[in-house]
Each structure stands twice: as structure tokens, then as C-alpha cells.
A and B are shown apart, each in its own frame.
Chain A
Amino acid sequence: MNPRYLALECRRIIRSGRFMIFSLVMPAVLFVLLSGLYGGKDARYEDGASVTAALMVSMSAFGAMSAALSTGARVAVERGGGWQRQLRLTPMSASTYLYTKVIVAMLVSIPSILLVSLVGAVFQGVSLSAGGWVVATAGLWLGALPFAALGLLIGLTIPADSLPAIMGVSSMLLALLGGMWIPAQVAPGWLSAIMKATPSYWFTQLGQSALYDNKHLVTAIMVLAAWTVVAGLISARRFAGSAARA
């Protein structure tokens, strides 16, 4: 693994307009807006969790998810444009190319989580236990891994020109069904069944464990791990297939 290459790749992502808007500005602004509307200082859900803290975790998750997802998906652009052919003329192996994309996706999801958490702690008066903060930051960060793998799968499947549309729809759906924008508790029964099939729902559940003793934490970790393995394996197969055809 090459630190200079990693740094250059991260810089490409971080300065893109898409990243700025969907992974940094939008989660932070939504967090401030929504907690202004519903949060109040002492607003609590029925289960006793602070609304502002819950919103903070959800928006961190949303930012990290869209950062990880869109980074992996950018493989589509490099695939279509012949950049991958150029890379095959370097010592980097095909598998290192894929691993690097996942690592970059994980690295660029850090600022999303940090920004929202900072806004929460400094401006919105969110207070969590030390363990809660670890879950809300490091825990969420690790939980973004399946979205890096999922993004990679999208990037290896979708042609570059339909990427913006697909990415817009899929991150919107994942956010809505994952209960990141609207709490899952208000969903009717049939909808909540669909929600529980998405990785984003369990990602949100993982985040909520920062607020209270979530009895679904183990399930969340298992589901997220399963999504990572499945999306990762399919991506690896697709990539090997496309390399063999070339």
C-alpha cells in the first residue's frame, strides 16, 4: 500500500462537489435544521433517547454512508474512461486497486462523522457517555464498510453515464428506508419489514447504540458484516471477470 497514492486519491474525492454537498454540508445542515425543529433541549423519544443525539447519529451515518458509497461507485468512471488500462501499466495489481478503493472510501467517510459529531457536541449540546461517543464515531466509521463494498459493486456494474442518477436514487432510498431522515419508529408495519432488509437500517441501529443499551446491536453488526462479505465477494468476481475479458 502506497501512502502517497492513497493521499492523492483521497484528495480527488474530498474536493469533488458531490462529496462536499452530500457528505459534508447536507448532513451537518440537516442535523442543525431538524434538531431545531424537533430537538429542543430536552426533547426525548418514548424510549428516553434524546432526539438531538439521535438526529446527530443518524446524520453522521448518512454522511458516512454517502461518502463510502460514492467513492466505491466512482470505479465506473475509471472503468469506462480507460484509466484502469493505464493503471495496468503500473506495478499495482488488480486486487490492490480494489482494496485501495475500499480504504479510500473508509478514509473519506471520517470527515463526515467528525463534522456532525463536532457540531453536535459543540453547538447542539449533545452529551453522551464516553462509550457512547466511541460508538457514535469509531463504531459508525467501521459500520460504513458495507457501503464501501456496495459502492464498489455499483461502480463495477453500472455504466459511467448513468452513475449520477443511480447514485442519487440509491442513496436517497437507503437513507429513507434506513430511517436516517425519518425515525423508523413511525413507519407502519409493512414498511418496517422492508426497512429491516436494508443495510442502512442496521447502520442506523448501530449508531443508536450510542444512546441507549440497544438489544439489536449484535444483529446489526451481523447484518452489516453479511452485507460487506456478500457485496465484497460479488465485486471481486465481477472485477476478475472484467479483467479476464480485456
Chain B
Amino acid sequence: MTSNATAPDGAAVRLTGLRKSFGDVHAVAGVDLHITPGEVVALLGPNGAGKSTTVDMLLGLTRPDAGDVKVFGRTPRQAIADGHVGAMLQDAALLEDTTVGESVALIAALHRKPMPVADALTAAGIADLADRRCSRLSGGQKQRARFAMALVCDPDLLVLDEPTVAMDVETRREFWRGMQRTGRTVLFATHYLDEAEQFADRVVLMREGRVIADGSVADIRSHVTGRRLTAVVDGADAAVLSALPGVTEVAVRGSHVTLACADSDAALRALLAAEPSARDIEINAMSLEDAFLALTTEGAAR
């Protein structure tokens, strides 16, 4: 990082009371978010939760109906003009008639203190594709080219909207390895829970335009307590299983049984006594996905 962006309050990003409606749809209905420099934050939520609209307002691409956006203490436009923000948009296309190197060079030429184009391509893992026409890239390669364009201004804050869409598992892992090496403040929107779990310091969960949970992965996970027990039980009877001590929820598919347990030890002992045929037993902690589902459906029921 060459620039030293500082805000009076030390925040990389500060969103206050952000709102945006499209007609009757409240895409963003009051979002407050404070990101300190160096944090890697995942913005998580189902489709239509308001993630992309929030990102667009953060970048000054959409004007909020109400609320305030500050990036390193400036307006988004000023922060971008000063070269503090690099962003990878979901729908931003590449120029079909240029090579990857030329596309990145065009963006670099517009910034005041860009990094060398070759460095950006290397960091994005596409140094070998510099001379490839953008029209001849695979989906994953296109995403990496977009990442190189986000990176070439050498930003303090990287904003990534669904960055690993169209990447296969191996490419995705590599992408994140590259990302972590850059050591910048990162805000990324995703719907891959494992990505948030593995790569974010902090998870912000959105639903229906609001932040419904904000904390470390462990914090979010603690919203769902207990463990999950799976087993194979011949002639499993849901009524019998839900009467077992410590069991809160039962799902039966043929002889495959999943029990959500408040007390998995008690449930296991009772299960083995009541159903001697029970076998292939596994007990796991609830995952971030369980927390995600619990939090998003809980909200929907309200």
C-alpha cells in the first residue's frame, strides 16, 4: 500500500442509517456499518437481501435516499478519485476487443498512482493471460481479470461483489490465498458460507435490507446452540425420536435420522437405549450455515 488513507474517526468505512428504495421495494432499510482498516468483512445474505445495493452506495454508484457514506472520512467519489478504493463489480464487463493486459492498463492509466500492470496481473494469478483477448476468457478467468482491474490502483480498501462466482473450487481457494496476501481492508459480498467462514474476520449478515447479525464467525455461530446428531435407525419413528431427552428437532428420511440436540450426550444415551439398531452415529457442531438458516428464517417468521 502506497497511500496512507486516514479518517478522523479511524474508520475505513462508515455507513450511517443508509436507506434506498426502488419503488415500493425497500432494498436497503437502515444499515449501519463500521469497518476498521485491515478488517476482512464478509457481507452475507440471501438473494435480494440488499447486499449489492449497499455495495453500490458504498461506491457512490447509487445515491442513498437517506443516510451517510464515508470511506476513509471522505465521500465515495472523493475516496475513489484519491485512489483509495478498488472494486470488483458483479456486472462490470471487460472490453471484448482488448487483451487482459490492455484492459488493466486502461484502468491503470486513469489512476494517479497505479501499481505496474504486470504486478496486478500476477497478484490476480493471470500473468500468463496478459495477451489473451477478453472475449476468449473462461468465467473464472474473467473474474480474475476484474480482480486485477480492482487491484491495479493499489487501493487501501477492496470492495468485491460476489468475487468468486463462476470459479471452480480450486480456483476459488487460490483466489482467496492471493487476496489474503494483499493485507488490505476488504469488504466482500458472497453467498458462499464457507468463504465467509474461512476468509473473513467478521461476518455481516443481511436480510430484507437490514443487518440482522454482525460479528466474528464464532459469534454468529453461537446464535444457534447445540449440536447435530445423525444416525441410521431401522424403522425410525419421528414421534419416538422427538420424545427423547435433549432433542429439539427431528428429520427422518427413510432410515436416515437427523436430530437437532440441545444436549447431545443425553440424546445419544437415550437413543441407544430406545433404538438398539442405531448405527453410523455422528455428532457435529452446528455450522455457520445452520446459523445462517436459523437467523434468516427466524426473521422471516416474524
In the assembled complex, how far is the CB of residue B215 from the closest CB belonging to chain A, in whole angstroms?
29
Q: How far is the CA of A83 from the CA of B112 in the complex (A)?
A: 20
B237 / chain A contacts, CB cutoff of 8 Å: none
A16 (CB) vs chain B CBs: closest residue: B97
B82 (CB) vs chain A CBs: closest residue: A91
- Majority secondary structure of chain B interface residues (helix, strand, loop or mixed): loop
In the assembled complex, how far is the CB of residue B188 from the closest CB belonging to chain A, in whole angstroms?
15
- Majority secondary structure of chain A interface residues (helix, strand, loop or mixed): helix
Say whether B61 faces chain A, with CB atoms less than 8 Å apart.
yes
Q: Is the CB of A89 within 8 A of B80?
A: yes
Say whether A5 faces chain B, with CB atoms less than 8 Å apart.
yes
Say whether B75 faces chain A, with CB atoms less than 8 Å apart.
no
Say whether B281 faces chain A, with CB atoms less than 8 Å apart.
no
B98 / chain A contacts, CB cutoff of 8 Å: 12
Q: Is the CB of A8 within 8 A of B87?
A: no
Say whether A246 faces chain B, with CB atoms less than 8 Å apart.
yes
Q: Which among A81, A85, A91 is the interface contact of B83 at CB below 8 angstroms?
A: A91
In the complex, which range does the number of interface residues on chain A fall in? 20 to 34
Q: Is the CB of B81 within 8 A of A91?
A: yes
Say whether B252 faces chain A, with CB atoms less than 8 Å apart.
no
Q: Which residues in chain A, 81-96, are within 8 Å of chain B measured between CB atoms?
A: 81-83, 85-92
B218 / chain A contacts, CB cutoff of 8 Å: none
Q: Is the CB of B89 within 8 A of A8?
A: no
Q: Is the CB of A90 within 8 A of B92?
A: no
Q: How far is the CA of A82 from the CA of B92 in the complex (A)?
A: 5
Say whether B149 faces chain A, with CB atoms less than 8 Å apart.
yes
Q: Is the CB of B92 within 8 A of A91?
A: no
Q: How far is the CA of A91 from the CA of B111 in the complex (A)?
A: 6
Q: Is the CB of A8 within 8 A of B95?
A: no
Q: How far is the CA of A246 from the CA of B98 in the complex (A)?
A: 25
In the assembled complex, how far is the CB of residue B261 from the closest CB belonging to chain A, in whole angstroms?
48
Q: Which among A16, A90, A246 is the interface contact of B153 at CB below 8 angstroms?
A: A90
In the assembled complex, how far is the CB of residue A123 from the closest CB belonging to chain B, in whole angstroms?
32
Q: How far is the CA of A78 from the CA of B125 in the complex (A)?
A: 26
Say whether B109 faces chain A, with CB atoms less than 8 Å apart.
yes
- Against B, the Cβ 8 Å flags (1 = close, 0 = not) of A62-88 are 000000000000000110011101111
25 residue pairs bridging A and B, Cβ less than 8 Å apart: A4-B109, A5-B106, A5-B109, A5-B110, A11-B102, A12-B95, A81-B94, A81-B96, A82-B89, A82-B91, A82-B92, A83-B92, A83-B94, A83-B95, A86-B89, A86-B92, A86-B93, A86-B107, A87-B107, A88-B60, A89-B59, A89-B61, A90-B107, A90-B110, A91-B83
Q: 6 other contacts beyond A85-B92, A86-B89, A86-B93, with CB at 8 A cut-off? A: A2-B109, A9-B106, A11-B102, A85-B91, A86-B92, A91-B82
